């Protein structure tokens, strides 16, 4: 059997040209379906399709399929390693995205709709979201390594194809989810469930609610509901937002997966002719693969994937050669990559992501992140319809084209149909929205909160003005204070209290030096008071929405040191340093 580096076919030069033309073709087609190139959509799609077809025919005639497959392996393998590592860097964040898909009105509604199964649900998978998150990350990385070294290529190509079909289905679902379309959903409630009782009453006047069965044990209700559309597939976690300023749109994610499927098909159709790389072949393939990883690392502003890719590739090859009787094969190589991935994931799960792409990362100015949004731009278009052909034309009412056309005078041929609003520039919300708003009701203020100078001033100001102050917000104070320590907990019941003694030591030091130290969590006041009393921790405590607390830190708890709105220190609960260490290494930067 010929080795993979017998790839030139009948002409190295011509096949190289055909591959370049092939890549240009798929690029043109992708551009043709992108909204930014809407004006040139048809020419781009036609020229891209023609170019792609010619290049494929050329590769077949000149036997360049293996060469094209090699290029596909490098592109797919490099992207799989980077994509898997981006997710593995923040498996908790990725699990949150999976939880969104597992919600009853999200992915499950497709099954309900297609197969007439209104009672179908994926909500039981929510408890396993973190497991699936880690599993998917590892599968991506392992497949990326195996396809680059040409190992178990039949198995690998099948897994690549199945993985990409799965991802493509998810992105297709995301891109084509219509929030206004309704589907039939079936819920079962216990007989005394308040929701079930209210549904029983609603069914009498609402035609979209139907009681399927009503017994002394339970009530089964069919109801027309709107789907919960996931607006961001989470393909690259928070990395796209943190590096280029925005995530891929659902349609962009879908086309990204279309491209990957296309390249995977090249690998799949040539799988019988691909054998594991020789040492000589690896001297060419691996450096080029690392350059591809370097390119994606540049895009994401994080160069650790290059080191990670090098370590996993070299380790896999070394284990395959030196692993002995049981590990000296490509299954052993795959296992070594799994172990490396598990070590990495274990670290970030215990602490924080190695690369923090969230707006609360060290070095970010929280106040700036509150105002980095972008106002959308829209234009109102007048739509006229041709009375004979049904053709529609859109005009900007303030544009010269509309004025010069005088189409409103041609009533025998054109009639006004409607007005539509077209998005020119999409609205982009600020990185930190109003969901970040630690508050406390004035009726719930205790001595720890009243001791804060900020709270004292707010109460005095309200008293002087005679205004009624129902709630105090910490949002502005946190972003303007010269220095403040903020402890965050996304779930007080699951907070790791093993490091609480170190946190309390910092708290008492800051209190002595009159530096504000506050605690922000998601809990009711009785629960907060019980926690403080139980752990003898009289810290000023405020409440915030749990969604934002999940974004601020993955660890529970986490301590942020903020100076004039800038995060200068961020410490997970398992690695809380001493107060003196913070002063020496954080405050004196």
pLDDT of 3 reads: 44
Q: What's the rounded Cα separation, in Å, for the pair 569 and 510?
A: 15
pLDDT of 517 reads: 96
pLDDT per residue as tens, the chain (589 positions)? 444 445 567 788 998 999 999 999 999 999 998 888 888 889 999 999 999 999 999 999 998 899 999 999 999 999 999 999 999 999 999 999 999 999 888 888 888 888 888 888 899 999 999 999 999 999 999 999 999 999 999 999 999 999 999 999 999 988 888 888 888 888 888 888 888 888 888 888 888 889 888 888 889 888 888 888 887 766 776 777 766 667 778 888 899 999 999 999 999 999 988 889 889 889 989 999 999 999 999 999 999 999 999 999 999 999 999 988 889 999 999 999 999 999 999 999 999 999 999 999 999 999 999 988 888 788 888 888 998 888 888 888 778 888 888 888 888 888 888 888 887 777 778 889 989 999 999 999 999 999 999 999 999 998 888 888 899 999 999 999 999 999 999 999 889 888 899 999 999 999 999 999 999 999 999 999 999 999 999 999 999 999 999 999 999 999 999 999 999 999 999 999 999 999 998 887 5
First and final C-alpha spacing in the chain: 61
Number of neighbouring beta carbons within 10 Å of residue 256: 20
> pTM for this one?
0.88
Helix (H, G, I), strand (E, B) or coil at 9: coil
pLDDT of 485 reads: 96
Q: Is 262 exposed, middle or buried (0-12, 13-18, 19+ CB in 10 A)?
A: middle
Number of neighbouring beta carbons within 10 Å of residue 335: 17
Task: Report the alpha-carbon angle 435-437-438, nearest 5.
Answer: 135
pLDDT of 4 reads: 45
Listed residue (576, 548, 545, 536) closest to 560, CA to CA = 576
Which domains, ranges and CATH numbers included, belong to the chain?
1-63 (no CATH), 72-176+246-350 (no CATH), 183-225 (no CATH), 377-425 (no CATH), 439-587 (3.40.30.10)
The encoded tokens of residue 395 equal: 């005009």
């Amino acid at each position: 059997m010929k080795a993979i580096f017998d790839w030139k076919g009948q002409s190295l030069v011509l096949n190289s040209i055909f591959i370049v033309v092939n890549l240009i073709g798929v690029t043109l087609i992708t551009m043709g379906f992108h909204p930014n190139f809407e004006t040139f959509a048809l020419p781009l799609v036609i020229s891209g399709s023609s170019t792609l077809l010619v290049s494929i025919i050329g590769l077949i005639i000149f036997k360049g399929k293996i060469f094209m497959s090699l290029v596909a392996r490098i592109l797919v393998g490099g992207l799989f390693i980077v994509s898997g590592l981006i997710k593995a860097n923040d498996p908790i964040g990725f699990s949150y995205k999976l939880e969104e898909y597992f919600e009853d009105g999200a992915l499950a509604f497709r099954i309900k709709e297609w197969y007439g199964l209104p009672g179908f649900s994926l909500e039981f998978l929510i408890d396993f979201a973190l497991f699936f998150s880690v599993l998917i990350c590892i599968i991506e990385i392992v497949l990326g390594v195996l396809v680059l070294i040409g190992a178990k290529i039949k198995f690998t190509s099948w897994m690549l194809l199945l993985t990409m079909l799965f991802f493509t289905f998810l992105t297709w679902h995301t891109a084509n989810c219509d929030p206004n379309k309704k589907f039939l959903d079936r819920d079962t409630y216990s007989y005394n469930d308040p929701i079930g009782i209210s549904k029983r009453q609603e069914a009498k006047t609402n035609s979209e609610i139907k009681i399927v069965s009503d017994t002394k044990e339970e009530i089964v209700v069919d109801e027309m509901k709107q789907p919960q559309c996931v607006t961001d597939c989470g393909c690259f976690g928070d990395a796209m937002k943190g590096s280029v300023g925005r995530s891929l749109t659902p349609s962009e994610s879908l086309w990204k997966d279309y491209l990957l499927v296309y390249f995977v098909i090249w690998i799949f159709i040539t799988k019988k002719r691909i054998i594991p790389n020789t040492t000589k072949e690896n001297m060419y393939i691996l450096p080029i693969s690392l350059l591809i990883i370097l390119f994606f690392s540049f895009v994401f502003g994080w160069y650790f994937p290059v080191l990670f890719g090098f370590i996993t590739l070299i380790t896999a090859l070394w284990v395959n050669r030196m692993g002995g009787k049981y590990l000296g094969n490509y299954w052993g190589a795959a296992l070594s990559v799994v172990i490396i991935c598990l070590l990495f994931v274990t670290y970030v799960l215990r602490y924080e992501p190695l690369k923090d792409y969230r707006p609360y990362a060290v070095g970010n100015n929280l106040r700036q992140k509150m105002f980095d949004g972008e106002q959308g731009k829209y234009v109102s278009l007048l739509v006229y319809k041709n009375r004979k052909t049904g053709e529609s034309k859109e005009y900007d009412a303030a544009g010269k084209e509309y004025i010069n056309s005088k189409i409103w005078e041609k009533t025998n041929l054109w009639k006004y149909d409607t007005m539509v609003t077209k998005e020119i520039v999409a609205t982009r919300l600020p990185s930190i929205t109003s969901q970040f708003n630690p508050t406390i009701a004035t009726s719930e203020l205790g001595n720890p909160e009243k001791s804060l100078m900020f709270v004292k001033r707010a109460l005095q100001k309200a008293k002087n003005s005679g205004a009624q102050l129902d709630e105090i917000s910490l949002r502005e104070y946190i972003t303007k204070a010269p220095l403040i320590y903020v402890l965050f907990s996304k779930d007080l019941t699951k907070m790791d209290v093993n490091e609480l003694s170190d946190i309390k030591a910092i708290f008492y030091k800051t209190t002595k030096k009159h530096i504000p130290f506050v605690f922000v969590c998601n809990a009711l006041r009785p629960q907060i008071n019980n926690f403080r009393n139980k752990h003898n921790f009289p810290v000023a405590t405020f409440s915030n929405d749990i969604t934002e607390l999940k974004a601020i830190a993955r660890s529970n708890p986490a301590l942020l040191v903020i100076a004039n709105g800038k995060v200068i220190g961020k410490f997970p609960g398992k690695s809380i340093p001493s107060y003196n260490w913070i002063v020496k290494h954080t405050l004196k930067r």
